[in-house]
Chain A
Amino acid sequence: MNKRQTRLFAIGGSVLAALLFLGMTLDSHRQFPKLTNAQNISPEVTLGNKVWHANNCINCHTLFGEGAYYAPDLTKITQLRGEAYLRAYLHDPAKFYDEQKVRRLMPKQDLSDADITGLIAFLDWVSKVDNQGWPPRPLLVSGSSLPGMAMTAAQQGSTTGTAATGPADTRPTTSGDNPIAQGESLFHSASPPCAACHSIAPGVNMAGPSLAGISALAEKALASGTYKGEAKNAKEFIHESIVHPSAYLEPGDMYSAAGTSFMPDTYATSLTPEQVDQLVDYLSTLK
């Protein structure tokens, strides 16, 4: 090849690549409205988008896996955490995580209620974008799909945690804290810990079924007609399942036999009524 030919190769190749790229760009624009549910970009979502930018969220978190790698990915966060949880968290992250334990903490942001509503709406819109099925399995902020993995070696040595020592990812809570945060802590520190048998990751069934989306499951059970318990709504259903595990039986030979659930029925006495309420508050935020 001489110089003229190589120049032709450089220019011709680049132009050809650019044309192909522009063609695919045009086609992408044709598909964006459907892929991104553009009709759902409400003024709230737009406000949330602005809040997301103004607070520089992307320089710690990732969204669609893009951003900085210092804080959890938030692409599907609204499918894992309910609005009540996210609202309480955004008001004061320090109520949920202890910086001494997890060694980093989200600084409290100066957000109004409207900002938070917008931000949650924006994140919810993001979570519904058709993004080629990523992530391949849910990305958890804390805890674990597998029992015990989130604990330190010392914590694994003792079969029960206490509110003071707790697993690595929970913050020691005090009575002044948000009930959801206290419930999350109890989930790991009750005796025996709920987390020993239940995962909060979708589809991860251990000794007990996954509690991801428990509220929706409760509504479904209540409406099924086969339910014989006394609960009228999802919160009452969750409450009942904690204190009277056999009132509703999850189908499957591994969870119950002869009408009796394998879950311990000791929580009615080992937990105070307030603690049960806190657990219900926490569990009903799981989506």
Chain B
Amino acid sequence: MRYKSQSVAYWYFAVAMALFGLQLVFGLLSAAKYLGPDPLLYILPFDVTKMIHTNLLIVWVLTGFMGATYWMVPDESRTELYSVKLAIWQLVLWTAMGLATIFGYFFRYGTGNKLLEQPLPSKIIIVVVMLMFLYNIFMTIKRSGRFTTTEGVLIGGLGLAAVLYLPALLHYENYVISIFYRWWTIHLWVEGVWEMIQGGFLAYLLIRLSGADREVMEKWLYVIVGLVFIAGIIGTAHHYYWVGVPHYWLPIGGVFSALEPVALVGMAVYAYSAIRRSGLQHPNVLALHWTVGSAVFTLFGAGLLGLAHTFPSVNKWTHGTMITAMHGHAAFYGAYAMIVLAMITYALPSLTSGRREQGSPVGYWAFWMQLGGMFGMTLSFGTAGIAQVYLERILGLGYLDTQLKIQIHFVMLIATATVFTIGVGLFIFDFFRYPPRFAVSAEPELKPRGVADA
């Protein structure tokens, strides 16, 4: 850590960790309800646990993004943050809003609009927090006068994420039109500007961890961002299947969403070749695992599994089944959870005292158990989805009867989700077991690959 103000990231990461843990509690609860019967039917029904599960995901990942940005911008712009105090207040307001919103959900105080359930006061606070955040970052960069491409892509992504939240504030009497604009926020976030954010972090980490040449890395980052948007913006069309929009969205969705994985292949190749080409190695090998892991798992979860059901002729049968849950879990985890965990793992040795730079055995267990667990969960959702498509959609068995016949996949889901949860538990334990340290320290040096660390 070269700048003292970077340490504010620690508190963001700590909040993110706590909310991540809480997210899994509600995920496991929701999964258990698939097996049923549900003793909590009138206390905590499925709609509430599922809504809290997905909302916590969005809140903790965004908390992680903000923390990681506060960590990265001083590094890139070579200056202290404009205001640490503002960053702290921003976190307090954000966390209070998050917890109050979740608490409100217990009483169904929300709009019932999938993923954008936040009631209006929460939405307004979200916009305020975003403005505080962007102002702080903007002033930091302005003061230093140094603005890198990597940083530019990251800030561009964050700024657009804030702008694209605005359609969520609008209300339409026509349900079809409200679906249309809901995807402007959700899709253009996760398959557009959030990928830009991921790309920014990825480039930063690869430059730091592998010593790859900045000019080359940033050049290719532009190419990736271009590919993300060319396919991603019009790729919104794959959410316009079967919802009451003009028919031409079907073929357009097929073509452009088939192009979406190109950017993700690019990202994985980018990460892999950066590591291969450069002869240097950062001692924090665990962070490298998370970084490359994120690029590869994104290709699998978002790219491959998305492609699997993106053509209209396939999607006609799979739309609204467990196939969507399969893709959603793997994609979100690979692209956004893992990149935040990568940034945390990279920053943590200098944010805490007594931690070894190269990561601990607990850290590796956390990595592999999460990866194995999430892979198993993806398979469970996938096999459940395939069975559901054939039984319910193709043969015409009733929904409820179909769900009874695929119970075994839900047992498998809970088993693999347990492995995943233990992995996350270990990560959280590893995070909190060393006390935070808020002093400037020397950066570890890159060593030629293959030289053992002292």
Residues of B within 8 A of A272 (CB): none
Are A65 and B319 closer than 8 Å at their CB atoms?
Answer: yes
Q: How large is the interface on B (under 10, 10 to 19, 20 to 34, 35 or more residues)?
A: 35 or more
The reply on B127 being an interface residue by CB < 8 A is no
- Count: A-B pairs, CB below 8 Å: 250
The reply on A220 being an interface residue by CB < 8 A is no
Are B393 and A59 closer than 8 Å at their CB atoms?
Answer: no
Are B46 and A60 closer than 8 Å at their CB atoms?
Answer: yes
Which of B60-68, B111-119, B350-358 has 4 or more CB atoms under 8 Å from chain A?
A: B111-119
**Given A103-B35, A137-B396, are A132 and B219 neighbors across the interface (CB < 8 Å)?**
no
Give A75's nearest chain B residue, CB to CB. B242
Give B108's nearest chain A residue, CB to CB. A56
Cα–Cα, bound, A63→B320 (Å): 9
Which of A143-151, A221-229, A253-261 has 4 or more CB atoms under 8 Å from chain B?
A: A143-151
Are A68 and B47 closer than 8 Å at their CB atoms?
Answer: yes
Residues of B within 8 A of A14 (CB): 225-226, 229-230, 233
Could you tell me the distance in whole angstroms from the C-beta of A78 to the nearest C-beta in chain B? 14
Are A126 and B175 closer than 8 Å at their CB atoms?
Answer: yes
Q: Determine chain B's interface SS by DSSP, over half rule.
A: helix
Could you tell me the distance in whole angstroms from the C-beta of B86 to the nearest C-beta in chain A? 30
Are B37 and A53 closer than 8 Å at their CB atoms?
Answer: no
Cα–Cα, bound, A129→B114 (Å): 20
Contact partner, A6, options B111, B220, B403, Cβ 8 Å: B220
Could you tell me the distance in whole angstroms from the C-beta of B5 to the nearest C-beta in chain A? 30
Are A32 and B319 closer than 8 Å at their CB atoms?
Answer: no
Q: How large is the interface on A (under 10, 10 to 19, 20 to 34, 35 or more residues)?
A: 35 or more
Are A59 and B226 closer than 8 Å at their CB atoms?
Answer: no
The reply on B51 being an interface residue by CB < 8 A is yes
**Given A9-B222, A204-B396, are A3 and B215 neighbors across the interface (CB < 8 Å)?**
yes
The reply on B453 being an interface residue by CB < 8 A is no
Contact partner, A65, options B33, B47, B320, B399, Cβ 8 Å: B320
Residues of A within 8 A of B400 (CB): 72, 97, 102, 104, 141-142, 169
Are B401 and A36 closer than 8 Å at their CB atoms?
Answer: no
Which of B11-19, B176-184, B363-371, B372-380 has 4 or more CB atoms under 8 Å from chain A?
A: B176-184
Q: Return the CB mask of A59-71 against B: 1 if under 8 Å, else 0.
A: 1101111111111
The reply on B244 being an interface residue by CB < 8 A is yes
Cα–Cα, bound, A97→B396 (Å): 19
Which residues of A, 21-40, contact B by the 8 Å Cβ criterion?
21, 24-25, 27-29, 31-32, 35-36, 38
Are A73 and B399 closer than 8 Å at their CB atoms?
Answer: yes
Cα–Cα, bound, A141→B176 (Å): 23
Could you tell me the distance in whole angstroms from the C-beta of A280 to the nearest C-beta in chain B? 22
Residues of A within 8 A of B246 (CB): 24, 27-28, 31, 35
Residues of A within 8 A of B114 (CB): 58-59, 66-68
Residues of B within 8 A of A73 (CB): 320, 399
**Given A58-B112, A65-B320, A139-B393, are A131 and B243 neighbors across the interface (CB < 8 Å)?**
yes
Are A146 and B399 closer than 8 Å at their CB atoms?
Answer: no
Task: Point out which of A1, A100, A104, A107 has the most chain B C-beta atoms below 10 A from its C-beta.
Answer: A104
Are B38 and A56 closer than 8 Å at their CB atoms?
Answer: no
Which residues of B, 333-353, contact A by the 8 Å Cβ criterion?
none
Cα–Cα, bound, A77→B169 (Å): 30
The reply on A20 being an interface residue by CB < 8 A is yes
Are B38 and A105 closer than 8 Å at their CB atoms?
Answer: yes
Cα–Cα, bound, A133→B393 (Å): 14
Residues of A within 8 A of B398 (CB): 140-144, 150, 169
Cα–Cα, bound, A140→B403 (Å): 12
Are B219 and A104 closer than 8 Å at their CB atoms?
Answer: no
Are A28 and B180 closer than 8 Å at their CB atoms?
Answer: yes
The reply on A55 being an interface residue by CB < 8 A is yes
Residues of A within 8 A of B177 (CB): 29, 32, 36
**Given A132-B247, A168-B404, are A9 and B226 neighbors across the interface (CB < 8 Å)?**
yes
Cα–Cα, bound, A62→B393 (Å): 14
The reply on B92 being an interface residue by CB < 8 A is no
Q: Return the CB mask of B81-99 against A: 1 if under 8 Å, else 0.
A: 0000000000000000000
Contact partner, A70, options B46, B110, B236, B319, Cβ 8 Å: B46
Task: Point out which of B233, B245, B250, B322 has the most chain A C-beta atoms below 10 A from its C-beta.
Answer: B245
The reply on A138 being an interface residue by CB < 8 A is yes
Cα–Cα, bound, A262→B41 (Å): 46
Given A66-B243, A107-B42, A149-B397, 18 more pairs with CB closer than 8 A: A2-B219, A3-B149, A6-B219, A18-B229, A21-B233, A24-B234, A24-B249, A41-B173, A57-B112, A60-B46, A60-B47, A65-B320, A67-B320, A70-B47, A104-B400, A126-B175, A134-B242, A140-B397
What would be 27 A-B contacts, judged by CB atoms less than 8 Å apart? Answer: A2-B219, A9-B222, A9-B226, A10-B222, A13-B226, A14-B229, A18-B229, A24-B248, A49-B175, A53-B113, A54-B112, A55-B112, A56-B117, A60-B47, A60-B50, A64-B179, A65-B320, A70-B33, A70-B47, A72-B399, A97-B400, A139-B399, A141-B398, A142-B400, A146-B396, A149-B401, A169-B400
